């Protein structure tokens, strides 16, 4: 059994090597904590993790109370009727894939006099149900930029589920190209199984679960 702290240290050193090898800046690592317990998450924070990502509001709220301060990213499917609670619990929403969801977040952020960081989620994988089509990303980004209370900072995408490394690379290249068109400082691509390809195309933020925590329970 390796500890979470050991996994974090090993992952970060592998990441440094990979980033150096392809002459890229080292992306920020978000620990994806869905279905992980508070002890494991606290261990990751003690090991230097500064950001966590959760997919489900209810589960996140139960765990957040017991955690040390950390930047919290919502990475799950966004239901507009949960916008208020999501704004209250999270610092960043990475999964805005339609204007209506952005509008709901905008209203909730304004009501609490906050500015919420958001990312446009685009769909680059046939297996993925959510995310805006890449060709609509610019228009969505423009609409989100016009909404008070939101700060659009870039793009998030989930890579295709495949063993074909070239297919993964091509999908991430499309994400990087789309990111260049919409602007911002965050390109959130790369998970435990495809982070090397993401680093190669210039990811600035990896969302890593199992490589840090082991299999989800």
Ligand X SMILES: *Cc1c(COP(=O)(O)O)cnc(C)c1O
**Is position 47 an interface residue for ligand X (rule: CB under 6 A)?**
no
Q: Which letter does DSSP use for residue 132 in this model?
A: B
Q: Residue 140: in which H helix or E strand, if any?
A: helix 137-145
**Is position 32 an interface residue for ligand X (rule: CB under 6 A)?**
yes
- Tell how far CA 145 is from the center of its chain: 19
Using the minimum distance from each CB to ligand X, give the nearer residue, 76 or 102: 76
3-state SS, residue 67 = coil
Near ligand X in 75-134, by CB under 6 A: 75
- Of 85-93, 109-117, 129-137, 190-198, the window that binds ligand X (rule: CB under 6 A) is 190-198
Near ligand X in 11-30, by CB under 6 A: none
Give the shortest CB-127-to-ligand X separation in angstroms: 12
Provide φ and ψ at 157, rounded to 5°: -150, 150
Give the shortest CB-75-to-ligand X separation in angstroms: 4
Using the minimum distance from each CB to ligand X, give the nearer residue, 117 or 149: 117
Can you read off the two tokens belonging to residue 30?
């978000």
Give the shortest CB-114-to-ligand X separation in angstroms: 23
Is-contact 11 3, C-beta < 8 A? no
Position among 45, 158, 182, 198 found at the interface with ligand X (CB under 6 A): 158
Q: Where are the beta strands (DSSP E) in the chain?
A: 28-32, 51-54, 71-74, 92-96, 116-123, 150-158, 186-188, 205-208
Binding site for ligand X (CB under 6 A): 32, 34, 55, 75, 158, 191-193, 207-211
């Amino acid at each position: 059994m390796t500890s979470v702290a050991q996994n974090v240290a090993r992952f970060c050193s592998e990441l440094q090597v990979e980033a150096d090898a392809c002459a890229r800046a080292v992306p920020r690592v978000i620990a994806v904590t869905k279905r992980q317990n508070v002890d494991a998450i606290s261990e990751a924070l003690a090991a230097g993790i500064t950001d966590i990502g959760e997919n489900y509001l209810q589960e996140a709220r139960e765990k957040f109370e017991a955690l040390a301060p950390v930047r919290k990213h919502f990475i799950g499917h966004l239901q507009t009727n949960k916008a208020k609670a999501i704004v209250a619990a999270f610092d960043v929403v990475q999964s805005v894939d339609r204007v209506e969801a952005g509008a709901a977040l905008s209203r909730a952020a304004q009501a609490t006099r906050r500015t919420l960081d958001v990312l446009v989620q685009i769909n680059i994988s046939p297996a993925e149900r959510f995310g805006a089509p890449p060709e609509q990303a610019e228009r969505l980004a423009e609409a989100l930029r016009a909404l008070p209370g939101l700060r659009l900072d870039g793009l998030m995408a989930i890579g295709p589920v495949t063993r074909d490394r070239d297919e993964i690379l091509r999908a991430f290249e499309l994400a990087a190209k789309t990111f260049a068109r919409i602007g911002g400082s965050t390109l959130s691509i790369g998970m435990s199984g495809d982070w090397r390809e993401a680093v190669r195309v210039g990811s600035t933020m990896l969302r890593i679960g199992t490589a840090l925590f082991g299999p989800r329970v």
